[in-house]
Structure 1
Amino acid sequence: MNEKVMQKRKWQATLFFILIIAVTYLSAFITNFNLMEGLTAFPQAIGWIFANLLITQESLEKLPTILEKLTETIFMSIAATTTAAVVSLFLGIMGSKTTSINGVLSVAARFIASVSRNIPVVAWALILLLSFGQNSVTGYLALFVGTVGFLTRAFIESIDEASHSSVEALTATGATYVHIVNKAVIPQSLPQIISWILFMIETNIRSATLVGILTGTGIGYTFDMYYKSMNYNAVALVTFSIVIAVIVIELLSNYIRKVIL
């Protein structure tokens, strides 16, 4: 019996890999992708990067403007994440099986999370661009909506993992719903909640760069402006500034996680 099961699983695995290979070849054929041409062009692309993306004295004169736009992007990402976290915490409490008031609110919270999470931030930026135009509000809202979906799902899972014994103990003593949430659920889930918020701040700073290209704001717009004017030295400085900022924020986030977890 075991041999038959193992043989069946081997056949299933073989068919799966054959399907993956077939889909890969079909995709390459439809998109006219040639792996050999890509590999041969790779050294040339690396050479172009080292020849053109150089930080010069002239590009360094633009550093104050670049840092100003980068700071604007970072603060917008933090604002979008923190305000979305407040909404997501409410939706997470409503959607969690541990703290759900009724089935309707739970389904509604999970539905909102699913819709906003499964639509990419760039798509939200394009949708909101039609209504709000190219400004910082559009970028903020795009990050906000995408963050609500992700954090709501993460908070629901964090709250579901909370110990049910403390909830049952407070319920047995006649504690109110608000008291149970504040004293039993939130304290247990708080380290994970903070960790997810820090993760989304890092993610949103990266996403805000791309969103800024669409909305004409922040460091994304600065990058796009220099790129379209073929000022590659300034593009290199913008890219380097973004990389440094992301690394510094990630190091800070990791330090905070070590402290709270």
Structure 2
Amino acid sequence: MNEKRLIQRKWQMSLFFITIIGITYLSAVITNFNLLHGVGTIPEAIGWIFSNLYITQESLERLPDILTKLIETISMSIAATTTAAVVSVFLGLMGSKTTSINGYLSVLARFIASLSRNIPVVAWALILLLSFGQNSVTGYLALFVATVGFLTRAFIESIDEASQSSVEALTATGATYFHIVNKAVIPQCLPQMISWVLFMIETNIRSATLVGLLTGTGIGFIFDLYYKTMDYNTVALITFSIVIAVIIIELISNHIRKVVL
């Protein structure tokens, strides 16, 4: 019996890999992708990077403007994440089975989370661009809507995984809904919630750069500006600044996680 199951699993794995290979080959044919040609161009691409993307004294003179735009991008990302976290806490409480008031609110909260999460932040930026134009408000709203969907889903799962014993104990004593949430649910989920918020701040800083290309704001705007004028030395400085900023934010987030968790 075990041997039969083993043979069946081998066939299933073989069929799975054959299917993946078939899909990959079909995708390459449709997109006219040539793997050998792609691999062959890697040395040339690396050579172009080292010969064009380097920082010069002239590009360093633009560092103050770059840092100003970078701070603007980071501030927008933090503002969008923190305000979205407040909204997501309420939606998470509505959507969780543990703290849901009624089924309709739960379905509504989960629908909002699913809708805003499954539409990419770039798509949200394009949609909002038609209504609000190219400004920082559009970038903020795009990050806010996408973050609400992700954090709501994460908060729902965190609340559902919380221990039910303290909730049941407070319920048995006749505690109100708000007492149960404040005394039993939030204290258990708060470390995980903070961790998710920190993760989204890191993610939104990266996303804000791309959103800035569309909304004409922040570090993404000047990256696009200097890239289109073929000032690759300044582009290298901007890229380096973004990488350093993301690394610093990640180190700070990791330290806060260690303290909180």
Match of 2:114 in 1: 114
Residues 195-217 of structure 1 deviation map (CA, whole Å, 9 limit, x = unaligned): 00000000000000000001110
Match of 1:26 in 2: 26
Aligned partners of 1:112 and 1:190: how far apart in 2?
22
1:49 corresponds to 2:49: yes
Residues 122-177 of structure 1 deviation map (CA, whole Å, 9 limit, x = unaligned): 11111111111111111000000000000000000101111100001111111100
1:101 corresponds to 2:101: yes
Match of 1:233 in 2: 233
- 3-state secondary structure, aligned to 2:105: helix
Q: Give the CA deviation at 1:6.
A: 2.0
Moved more, 156-165 or 244-253: 156-165
Q: Give the CA deviation at 1:4.
A: 2.1
Q: Tell me, which stretches of 5 or more residues in structure 2 are unaligned?
A: none
Aligned partners of 2:185 and 2:74: how far apart in 1?
31
Match of 2:222 in 1: 222
Match of 2:153 in 1: 153
Match of 1:140 in 2: 140
- 3-state secondary structure, aligned to 2:41: helix
Which residue identity is paired with 1:123? Answer: A
Q: Which runs of 4+ in 1 moved over 6 A?
A: none
Aligned partners of 2:228 and 2:133: how far apart in 1?
21
1:170 corresponds to 2:170: yes
Aligned partners of 2:220 and 2:235: how far apart in 1?
11
Q: Give the CA deviation at 1:88.
A: 0.4
Aligned partners of 1:169 and 1:104: how far apart in 2?
26
Aligned partners of 1:237 and 1:194: how far apart in 2?
32
Q: Tell me, which stretches of 5 or more residues in structure 1 are unaligned?
A: none
Match of 2:3 in 1: 3
Which residue identity is paired with 1:120? Answer: P
Aligned partners of 1:42 and 1:31: how far apart in 2?
19
Residues 81-127 of structure 1 deviation map (CA, whole Å, 9 limit, x = unaligned): 00000000000000011101111111110111011111110111111
Match of 2:252 in 1: 252
Q: Give the CA deviation at 1:2.
A: 2.2
Aligned partners of 2:72 and 2:3: how far apart in 1?
62
Match of 1:205 in 2: 205
Which residue identity is paired with 1:236? Answer: A
Aligned partners of 1:48 and 1:104: how far apart in 2?
57
Which residue identity is paired with 2:105? Answer: L
Q: Give the CA deviation at 1:178.
A: 0.3
Q: Give the CA deviation at 1:10.
A: 1.4
Q: Give the CA deviation at 1:5.
A: 2.0
TM-score of the superposed pair, with normalisation by structure 2: 0.99
TM-score of the superposed pair, with normalisation by structure 1: 0.99
Which residue identity is paired with 1:96? Answer: S
Which residue identity is paired with 1:137? Answer: V
Match of 1:181 in 2: 181
Match of 1:124 in 2: 124
Aligned partners of 1:10 and 1:123: how far apart in 2?
41
Match of 2:82 in 1: 82
- 3-state secondary structure, aligned to 2:219: helix
1:17 corresponds to 2:17: yes
- Percent sequence identity over matched residues? 82
Residues 199-243 of structure 1 deviation map (CA, whole Å, 9 limit, x = unaligned): 000000000000000111000011000000000000000000000
Aligned partners of 2:125 and 2:91: how far apart in 1?
23
Aligned partners of 1:250 and 1:95: how far apart in 2?
30
Which residue identity is paired with 1:237? Answer: L
Which residue identity is paired with 1:193? Answer: M
Match of 2:62 in 1: 62
